[in-house]
Chains A and B, each alone.
Chain A
Amino acid sequence: MSGLLQVNDLKRHYEVHVPEGLFGRKASLKAVDGVSFSIEKGRTLGLVGESGCGKSTTAKLVLGLIPATSGTVEFAGTRVTARHDAHWRALRRRMQMIYQDPLGALDRRLPVITQIGEPFEIHNPEMSAAERTERSALLMDSVGLRPDMAMRYPHELSGGQRQRVVIARALALEPDLLVCDEPVSALDVSIQAQVLNLLDDLRERTGFAALFISHDLKVVRQMSDRVAVMYLGRIVEAGLPEDVFRRPQHPYTKALVSAIPTPARRGKRERIVLEGDPPSPVDVPSGCSFHTRCPIAQASCRNEVPKLVESGGHAVACHLVNAGAAPAVQAAE
């Protein structure tokens, strides 16, 4: 069966100019390079990875905000294209998104209740002003904003309250899919927990599916039914959060999971510290793109791109793991 959102071999390459020699040279930046996943109705897929791995580009491709180089995105059985016509707008009302910076996503010159009601104005122009205000007030209540905040402007609210406004607005049209791109990264710990709990409650109540993107493994684990780990434009490991984070298979995921300092892990240092920085997406290494930093890489990793092989709901893209020959990654210290 196909899910609500079906993404197939999605690619997005940018033509860039690399300074080299006198005139530089053209190169291709592979932001997203063959990503496939699906999200069932009402489920949440978490996407984690470091900066530049293509998480946010994937989000934009899914919503049809930018055209894909190749590959398809299907939402509820119809193709999502980047042509912004009536068909796309009809789809977009069922797919909403939340960004990291709520102040950038809100209009500084409009009171928040007007902004929360704006989706009604756009997608349901027949709705009377009185009903719009009433529905907006209900939404404010559902995200935990007090009625007296309705006429405030974004700068008069705290970061957490602003993010609640953005969430209320995104949920106004009862979307089937919510794309959350780093929704809590700009918030303090205590506020972050409030917003995560709010999203959790709203998901239970309204049943939206979500693509949840974050660089923070702890947050993704908290929110997701399934997770996918990205490295340089490709998914390297995917599965249930319990499997992926407790028993990571791919050497990159292993290093990533071991690198997270938490109060509970204090004193028990068995961090795997990777050498060097992630390579630039302009010069993706040949073969397995992780081989340059991989502690267990072998000669074959340099030549052949590993496929994402699934067994028992846990998919890994690593030659050594899939051949059943992965030596244990030795923890540093």
Chain B
Amino acid sequence: METLLSIKDLAIDFDQGKRFVRALHGVSLSVAKGEVLGVVGESGCGKSITWLAALGLLGSRARISGSVQLNGQEIAGAAENDMSRLRGGRIAMIFQDPSSSLNPVHRIGRQITEALKLHRGLTGASATAEAARLLDRVGIANATRRLREYPHEMSGGMNQRIMIAMALAGEPDLLIADEPTTALDATIQAQILDLLTELRRDTGMALVLISHDLGVVADMSDRVAVMYGGRVIEEADTGSLFDNPAHPYTKGLIAALPDIDGPRRRLESIPGTVPAPDQLPPGCSFAPRCAIASKICDARMPAFLPFGDSHSHFAACVKCRDEVTTEAALPSEVKRSLVPA
């Protein structure tokens, strides 16, 4: 598959006045054309700032290094003018709380036509007609009447649909959805997820779905990246990640989740809490909470290496491979591939 966006060794330091605190420690991720990449992790793991940084939205207090390429073209550190053409055009983003992303004092119609004017040069009646078509596209009935309404006149689910309509205005190749359904009720969440799936099927755009909800990510994604302490610690296609998780953190997250089907079991919790970005342990950042951690884990951050017999499954854990190899569960040719080159 052709790579659409690739992030390489992205690191972010935040200026805390006297010193810099590193919030992201060299993250590399890529999204192929038309693919759905799920990004999961707990609060503070860096899942949102990765994408905000990629779009140049972090402001002057963040020092960013690394490379971000869109279709092979470097966009990290690009001029503000170029970036604002890109944002909302090639790459669109929607956020958790739609009502605070919309301007409360402007009518819906004006906010959508603004995006149409900026990115597609449409004005006047043609812009209004296109805005109505977009609202219709995201499942809002009575589109022409709705264009004259204000965000507060609509429910949270409706506002999220409007955000999606605005994101579609620039006909993006990539939509970054940051917790798009977290503030919504279960039945509305189902509607929005279905809408996103349908739009993706029709337009062929790629989707980055950032969520803390493993269920949502499992349901929507082709591939999933799990983040912890400002790093990607595991990445695999969805099936492989949930059926055969490698990293103890991923395993822990899955076991900590209560289920709706099957027998009730006691939840397995991960002890302790996520370390603060300025108090990360020297080695693997998960080691203090990890049940199988040993001395090697404290020595240095483990490398992000292939796991198992799949070529798309990677994990940053020393111990997870030990476990598998001692169990002799691996075919021999894979064992060879695990030897560091």
Task: Give A residues with C-beta under 8 Å from B.
Answer: 50-51, 158, 160-161, 188-194, 196-197, 200, 215, 217-219, 221-222, 241, 245-246, 255-267, 269, 271, 273-274, 277-278, 332
Give the residues in chain A near B187, CB-CB below 8 Å: 50, 255-256, 259, 273-274, 278
In the assembly, what is the distance between CA of A266 and CA of B158, in Å? Answer: 26
* Cβ of B295 under 8 Å from chain A: no
Do A277 and B158 touch across chains, with their CB atoms under 8 A apart? yes
Chain A residues closer than 8 Å to B257, beta-carbon distance: 189, 193, 218, 262-263
Complex Cα–Cα for A191 and B253 (A): 10
Q: Which residues of chain A are within 8 angstroms of B191 by Cβ–Cβ distance?
A: 273-274
| B262: nearest chain-A partner, CB-CB | A264
**Docked CA distance A298–B59 (Å):** 56
- Chain B contacts with A in 237-267, Cβ cutoff 8 A: 238-239, 242, 252-262, 264, 266-267
Residues of A within 8 A of B158 (CB): 277
The answer to whether B256 touches A190, judged by C-beta atoms less than 8 angstroms apart, is: yes
CB of B157 within 8 Å of the partner chain:
yes
- Across chains A and B, the number of contacting residue pairs, with CB separation under 8 Å, is 129
A-chain residues with CB within 8 Å of residue B258 when the two chains form the complex: 193, 196, 218-219, 221-222
Question: 22 interchain pairs (CB within 8 A)?
Answer: A50-B188, A160-B273, A189-B42, A189-B253, A193-B258, A193-B267, A196-B267, A218-B257, A218-B260, A221-B258, A221-B259, A259-B186, A259-B187, A262-B257, A262-B260, A263-B218, A263-B242, A265-B218, A266-B238, A267-B239, A273-B187, A277-B155
Tell me if B274 counts as interface (CB < 8 A to partner A): yes
Contact of B13 with A by CB under 8 A: no
Would A189 and B212 be within 8 Å (CB), given that A255-B187, A263-B254 are in contact?
A: yes
Min Cβ gap A183→B in Å is: 13
Query: In the complex the two chains form, what is the Cα distance from A255 to B42 in whole Å?
Result: 28
Q: How far in angstroms is the closest Cβ of chain B from A256? A: 6
Q: How far is the CB of B55 from chain A (nearest CB, A)?
A: 25
The answer to whether B185 and A278 have CB atoms under 8 Å apart is yes
Q: How far is the CB of B304 from chain A (nearest CB, A)?
A: 22
Residues of B near A218 (CB, < 8 A) are 257-260
Chain B contact residue count (CB 8 A cutoff):
45
Return the CB mask of B212-226 against A: 1 if under 8 Å, else 0: 111110111000000
For residue B309, give the distance in angstroms from its CB to the closest CB of chain A: 21
- Please report the C-alpha to C-alpha distance between residue A262 and residue B155 in the assembled complex, in whole angstroms: 25
Least CB distance, B300 to chain A, in whole angstroms: 24
Q: Does the CB pair B186–A190 fall under 8 Å?
A: no
Asked if residues B42 and A188 are in contact (CB atoms below 8 Å), the reply is yes
What 1/0 flags go to B142-164 for Cβ under 8 Å of A? 00000000000001011000000
CB distance from B152 to the nearest CB of A (A): 11
The reply to whether the CB of B334 lies closer than 8 angstroms to some CB of chain A is: no
Is there an interface contact between B261 and A246, defined as CB atoms closer than 8 Å? yes
Q: Let me know if B260 and A217 touch, CB within 8 A.
A: yes
- Contact between B42 and A190, CB atoms less than 8 A apart: yes
Contact at B252–A261, with CB atoms within 8 Å? no
Give CA–CA (A169, B258) in the complex, Å. 26
Q: CB distance A188 to B260 under 8 Å? A: no
By the criterion CB–CB under 8 Å, are B273 and A266 in contact? no
**Which of A50, A197, A261 contacts B266 (CB under 8 A)?**
A197
Question: Smallest CB-CB separation from B249: which chain A residue?
Answer: A190
Closest to A51 in B: B185
Q: Is B323 an interface residue (CB 8 A)?
A: no
CB-nearest residue of chain B relative to A223?
B258
A194 cross-chain contacts in B, Cβ below 8 A:
269-271
* Given A189-B42, A215-B186, A259-B190: A265 in contact with B219 (beta carbons within 8 A): yes
Closest to A272 in B: B190
Give Cα A201–Cα B42 distance, bound, in whole angstroms. 25
Instruction: Give A241 to B261 CA distance when docked, in angstroms.
Output: 11
B194 touches A266 (CB 8 A): no
Interchain CB contact under 8 A, B259 and A188: no
Interface string of B264-301 (1 = CB under 8 A from A): 10111111011000000000000000000000000000
Question: Do A197 and B219 form a contact, CB below 8 Å, given A50-B187, A192-B256?
Answer: no
Task: Name the residue in B191, B193, B238, B269 with the highest tally of chain A Cβ atoms < 10 Å from its Cβ.
Answer: B269
User: Besides A256-B187, A262-B259, 12 other CB < 8 A contacts?
Assistant: A50-B187, A188-B212, A190-B42, A190-B252, A194-B271, A215-B186, A218-B258, A246-B261, A259-B186, A263-B242, A266-B242, A271-B194
Q: A65 to nearest B CB, angstroms? A: 24
Using Cβ atoms and an 8 Å threshold, which residues of chain A touch B264? Answer: 221-222, 241
Q: Please, which residue of chain B has its CB at the minimum distance from the CB of A218? A: B258
Distance A267 CA – B238 CA, assembled complex (angstroms): 10
Closest residue of B by beta carbon distance from A190: B270
Judge whether B73 is part of the interface by a CB distance below 8 angstroms. no
**Is B69 on the interface with A (CB-CB < 8 A)?**
no
Q: Give chain B nearest CB distance to A184 CB in angstroms.
A: 10
Question: CA A152 – CA B269 in complex, angstroms?
Answer: 24
Bound CA–CA A263/B241 (angstroms): 10
B189 CB-CB contact with A under 8 Å: yes
- Which residues of B, 27-56, contact A by the 8 Å Cβ criterion? 42-43
Nearest chain B CB to A154 CB, angstrom units: 15
CB distance from B166 to the nearest CB of A (A): 20
Closest CB in chain A relative to B145 CB, distance in Å: 16
**Contact (Cβ within 8 A) A261 B193:** yes
* Residue of B43, B186, B189, B239 ringed by the most chain A CB atoms within 10 A: B186
